[in-house]
Amino acid sequence: MAVRSAAHAHRIQAVRGEKKMRHFPLWWVVHTDEEKERLRKSISKEGVKEPVKITRIGGIILDGNMRYEIARELGIEVPFTYASFSDLFSLTIQNLRRLFRVLCYKMKRLIGHLGED
């Protein structure tokens, strides 16, 4: 079985509207395990509240990769909307902030473990 990198893009069919989306499963980089578990419980109980934002060209998920991944695992319908041009900049900044926040969190945990030895 071939091992794919985490950044490998998967061509997938959206549950609603047979819209093809490109999904980059990088939630593990920008979200903590605790955040993922909270979202999993919420989606399993209430469904996907906020639509996944995708690009019109290429169908790349810009916001909602983790929501999409969890809903797909649970077999729950995933609504989507197209991101506007102005969304592109704000979503990029939002994702970069989230990435740095989680990387800082993970570095603090790693440094804490190194100090225990």
pLDDT, mean over the chain: 75
- Name the band, by pLDDT with cuts 50, 70 and 90, for residue 113: confident
* pLDDT of residue 8 exceeding 50: no
Question: Does 44 reside within a domain?
Answer: yes
**pTM to 2 decimals?**
0.60
Question: Does 89 reside within a domain?
Answer: yes
* pLDDT of residue 6 exceeding 60: no
CB of 78 closer than 8 Å to CB of 86: no
For residues 115 and 110, give the distance between their C-alpha atoms in angstroms, rounded to a whole number: 9
Question: Does 62 reside within a domain?
Answer: yes
Residue in the structure block whose two tokens are 């999993």: 40
Question: Does 57 reside within a domain?
Answer: yes
Edge-to-edge strand ranges of the sheet holding 52-54: 61-63, 52-54, 80-82
Could you read off the pLDDT of 50-75 as tens digits, one per residue?
999 888 888 888 888 889 989 999 99
How many independent structural domains does the chain possess?
A: 1
- Higher pLDDT: 95 or 73? It is 73
* pLDDT of residue 27 exceeding 60: no
Could you read off the pLDDT of 37-49 as tens digits, one per residue?
999 999 999 999 9
Question: Does 58 reside within a domain?
Answer: yes
Token duo for residue 35:
């955040």
